[in-house]
Amino acid sequence: MIKINKSIVLNNIKFNYLLTINPRAKNIKISIGCEGMKVTIPKGINMDFVQRFLHSKEDWIIKHLNIPKEEMNNQLYFEGNIITYNVLSGLKENSISFKDNVLNINLIKELNYDEIHAIIKSWYLKQATDSFNKSIKVYSQIIGVKYNRICLREQKTRWGSCSSKANLNFNWKLIMAPKFVLDYIVVHELCHLIHMNHSKSFWSEVDRFIPDYKSAELWLKLNSRKLNF
């Protein structure tokens, strides 16, 4: 038997699979497990035919690989809006640009999904860094507080936190939420530099600068599952 690592593009996403050429095989067989997709074919079969066969089974493959609907539609969330991303390979240089709610990823060579995912995450982090820095600079001056360090993290249970040393931590995934939600979390943590608790005085302080903060909290309660990447 001969085993070869191959790939195929289904619905604009590149999938890697292990191709096994087995002289004893009579038909093309697709199997999907914890190690990914495996395709077994008889000896002498044309690869173009194999690719066409896999395309004919696209819906079945996507279903059993459990790819989220948003990924299959090339959909992402950014500042409260649904955006799409396009990937083009075979270009002279690598570049990434965002215009009219489309994230264009231009590549010299083809990359697998995990590599493209890393590129998109890097773009998200850059946007999040810029947005948080601007918001923190504006609101810290308005509120009249000083902070020490800003850190963006991928926190599972918190959107933000403030330490006794005036270090601010934020979940970078808030860049997917509307701007007023990100601003609310920023103000929330900055107000902890005045009140290190959730007392009535603390909430009065938050209300001074974000009068509709409850709308932001409600948005997060209803939509937090969308802030996933």
CATH code, domain with 214: 3.30.2010.10
Distance between CA atoms of 200 and 62, rounded to whole angstroms?
51
CB 104 within 8 A of CB 97: yes
Looking up tokens 């609310």, which residue turns up?
A: 184
Nearest residue to 2 (alpha-carbon basis) of 55, 44, 58, 30: 44
- Same domain? For 143 and 218 the reply is yes
**pLDDT (tens digit, 0 to 9) for every residue of the chain, 229 residues total?**
888 998 888 766 778 889 999 999 989 999 987 678 899 999 988 888 998 999 899 888 877 776 554 454 578 899 999 898 888 888 888 999 999 999 999 998 888 878 888 999 999 999 999 999 999 999 999 999 999 999 999 877 789 999 999 999 999 999 999 999 999 999 999 999 999 999 999 999 999 999 999 999 999 998 888 888 7
DSSP label of 196? S
pTM of the complete model beyond 0.75: no
Shared domain check, 136 and 103: no
- Please give the Cα distance from 91 to 104 (Å, whole number): 12
Contact 80, 177 (CB under 8 A): yes
End residue of a domain, out of 28, 46, 67: 67
Residues 140 and 201 in one domain: yes
